[in-house]
Amino acid sequence: MKKPLTSLYLLLTLACLPSIYYWLNGLGWEIENISLITLFPVFGLLAFTIMWFHLMTAWYKRHNPEMFNYRKFFRQTSNWVLVLILLHPLLLTIESLKIDIKPIDYAGPNGRFFILIAGIALLIFLSYEVTDRLREKPIIKNNWPIVVALNRVAMLLIFFHAIKLGTHLQTGAFKILWFGFGVSMLAYFISSYKNELTKKA
């Protein structure tokens, strides 16, 4: 019998708490100052954190495949990610239009490249949402390793996007934690690649 998803949701909540804490700390804990544009950074932080947690859960699933209803957990939390990854650039676009600049110029000339790679990652993530729902189609099924590889590239792009442009990630403990996310994510990718090679052998 599978265990309830409560423990997974609890762990996910714990993983998300640092993002919320450092975001509120950046606001000086002045809740009354929260607006659409001040919500913009935390949406990006939470989206990445949930996707990172998906990877760690998938890693755990490999060794404990029957413990939870992983499919249900991924389906529910993927909907949250979809909302967050759409709201994050939408709020950036709205704010950019309000101050009469192009969204790609919002972070200045040095930030253009990192906004661009985030846009590429967004397109990959949205494409994944579509292909995941069609994965039983022969053309998708036969090319699923490419879909997975592109999604992993998108995660790396978002990691570097956040490190470069994330206001809350420039110094301190949160930056160290973020690098921990990156190292564990890379370790998962390497482990998965080795596992895939073993299956082919």
Per-residue pLDDT of 43-74, as tens digits, reads 999 999 999 999 999 999 998 888 899 999 99
Identify the DSSP state of 64: -
Do 133 and 139 form a contact (C-beta atoms < 8 A)?
A: no
184 alpha-carbon distance from chain centroid: 14
Residue ranges covered by each domain of the chain: 6-200
pLDDT band at 170; cut points 50, 70, 90: confident
CA distance linking residue 77 with residue 95, whole number of Å: 27
Q: Which two tokens stand for residue 150?
A: 């592109």
DSSP state of 3: B
138 burial (CB, 10 Å; 0-12 / 13-18 / 19+) is: exposed
For the question of whether the overall pTM of this predicted structure is more than 0.75, the answer is yes
* CB neighbour list of residue 80: distance below 8 Å, 6 or more residues apart: 50
